[in-house]
Amino acid sequence: MSNLVNPHGGGDLNPLLLEGDALAAEKDRAATLPKVVMASREVGDVIMMGIGGFTPLNGFMNKADWQSICDNMTMENGLFWPIPITLSTDSDTAASFNEGDEVALVDGETDEIMATMNVSEKYSIDKNHECETVYKTTELDHPGVKMVMDQKDVNLAGSIKVLSVGSFKDEYGDQFMTPAETRAYFTEKGWSTVAAFQTRNPMHRSHEYLAKIALEIGDGVLIHSLLGKLKAGDIPADVRSNAIGTLIEKYFAPDSVVQAGYPLDMRYAGPREALIHALFRQNYGCSHQIVGRDHAGVSDYYGPFDAHDIFDEIPEDALETKALKIDWTFWCDKCDGMASMKTCPHSAADRMLLSGTKLRKALSEGEPVSEKFSRPEVLKILRAYYAGIAEEDKVEIKMSGHSAA
């Protein structure tokens, strides 16, 4: 019997991906339906619902849920949910079918039919309101705000049947783990306390330190990498995965860490994204989520520990997965090792603050990087990547203001 946290909502996992004869039949039917083209973020959301990562959702949200989540971080039925999961289309497409009709949801980049949807509602939203409440800004320089503002004019709500997980399984193999698979893995290992480490970057020494703190107080760590789209300047998922795998092999005890990935695009929503990360990590079976400095932040839109504070602002029973809050971490020359503000008595002059932004900039400019900053085996992989990219892409990296989380 599993001792893991329950899926969000308290019931069983709710994967919406069809299989076998039902999948074949629905694919045939989907080819006859009106098509709605999805953006990359929406495709990721469909796949997440398909594998049960967004349990207990049955599809894209209606206007009442959108409004309640923006204002209260709960769906209309009271279920905690910090970021709306919505689908948009243009006015002409929306006018071509009625509420109650079924449509096929198509990946805008590959033309693959990813799901079918029973359209229960067509509605419009105040995009500025979503940006103000969820992202805490309406500035278009914020990539999450731009994502919302780029949505089409009409939102579609309704239950979906998922037909595909796209290319993630082909590209990442066993690293693309579903919530059912991570739960089975944790149970087989006898783990009940599992901390998730969120990353969209290769892990430097500070990240490694955070994961090892979690290992000291729990059974295992899930290093959970985003496999969806990032922004210019961030390191591609295949390079990141290789670097993280090498770090695990060389510097972690055997059978203490599992590396996996999930299919979402980054929203860069800072504190609210920290909450949704914890929510779907609960579905993956994690009892804790490591929350360090500027979790899921971008540039200086959020304070370094706003993502800590937001966990104190939600009801105790909102999530079973709890935040493992960790202060600033750094290399201290006088401590002769990694430390944090809670453990190190020395001055700022003795400390090397580590960040993914600094690491990307140094590597893109061919500058030396101390082994106090990143492990040599990881640096070798990253240097090989930067040596092979075009100079114009390196400019994007130098100008990138993304945080390290």
- Cα separation of 23 and 208, whole Å? 41
- Cα separation of 89 and 156, whole Å? 7
- Cα separation of 144 and 71, whole Å? 18
Using left for φ > 0, alpha for ψ between -120 and 50, and beta otherwise, residue 221 falls in beta
The runs of H, that is alpha helices, within 82-178 are 91-95, 127-130, 143-149, 168-172
Active site residues: 200-201
The residue type found at 399 is: M
What tokens appear for 266 in the block?
């980054």
- Radius of gyration in angstroms for the set of CA atoms belonging to the chain, rounded to a whole number: 21
CB 385 within 8 A of CB 238: no
Dihedral of alpha carbons 60, 65, 67, 71, sign: negative
- Cα separation of 154 and 130, whole Å? 15
- Cα separation of 310 and 196, whole Å? 18
- DSSP3 helix / strand / coil % (the chain, rounded to 5): 40, 20, 40
- Cα separation of 288 and 179, whole Å? 15
